[in-house]
Amino acid sequence: MAADPLEPLLALIRAEVLAAPEGVRALAQALRERARVVIAERDQQLAALERENAWRAETTASLEAESRWRQEAMATLEAGLASREAKIAWLEQTLADLARERDHERASVASLERELATLSAHASELATLSAQSSAAFADLSREAESLRAEWKTAAAAHQRLLEHHRELLARLADGLEPLAPALPWRHREVSRRLAELIVALRREQA
């Protein structure tokens, strides 16, 4: 069994009481004073402990409030980060879509440039054909004018020849008309007159 720490004090008190009984009251008074001092010190210590506990409770509450604030701020930051990550993903998708549209537009522009080059070549060919057609049309126009002039000349010559033939026929008719009553009795005269008319006609046609 462990020794009682008050045992030496109790032994001392018993020895003092046995040695001087009149000192019991003084000892009791001293013990009461000591107890008062000890209790006062304990009360001060308890008050200090209560103040420290109150401070610790207040500090703990403050720390808990700060911890909640930090958690809320962290949640807000995480939500903002998630929003930013979603926005970044959207921007990356948008950039990818724009890149695909840019590639498509470049391909379309290249195709249009090829079509434009083909159309330019066709236009050049058409211009060449147009120039050739214009030259051919000019040649045909000149040939047509020449043919019209030749036709007019030929028509005029034909008209003159026709008028000449008509004139010859009229003269032949005029020359033959007097011979009709002489047939058939004056055969020689008619033959001579016909020969003269033939010679005259040949002379005019020569």
Any idea which of 9-13, 17-21, 86-90, 111-115 has the lowest mean pLDDT?
17-21
Residue 196 above 90 pLDDT? no
Q: What average pLDDT score do residues 200-206 get?
A: 62
Residue 153 above 90 pLDDT? no
CA distance 36 to 148: 158
Any idea which of 33-37, 83-87, 146-150, 154-158 has the lowest mean pLDDT?
33-37
Q: What average pLDDT score do residues 22-33 get?
A: 68
Residue 11 above 60 pLDDT? yes
Q: What is the pLDDT of residue 155?
A: 84
The string of pLDDT tens digits covering residues 40-93 is 888 898 888 899 889 999 899 988 998 999 899 999 999 988 999 999 999 999
Residue 114 above 80 pLDDT? yes
Any idea which of 115-129, 142-156, 179-193 has the lowest mean pLDDT?
179-193
The better pLDDT of the pair 9, 94 is held by 94
Average pLDDT, the chain: 79
Residue 1 above 60 pLDDT? no
Any idea which of 65-79, 100-114, 161-175 has the lowest mean pLDDT?
161-175
The better pLDDT of the pair 133, 71 is held by 71
User: Predicted confidence band at 164 (pLDDT cuts at 50, 70, 90)?
Assistant: confident
**Which two structure tokens, joined as six digits, stand for 90?**
């959207």
Q: What average pLDDT score do residues 122-129 get?
A: 87
Report angle CA 71, 77, 80 to the nearest 5 degrees. Answer: 145
DSSP string, the chain: -PPPTTHHHHHHHHHHHHH-TTHHHHHHHHHHHHHHHHHHHHHHHHHHHHHHHHHHHHHHHHHHHHHHHHHHHHHHHHHHHHHHHHHHHHHHHHHHHHHHHHHHHHHHHHHHHHHHHHHHHHHHHHHHHHHHHHHHHHHHHHHHHHHHHHHHHHHHHHHHHHHHHHHHHHHHHHHHGGGGGGTTTTHHHHHHHHHHHHHHHHHHH-
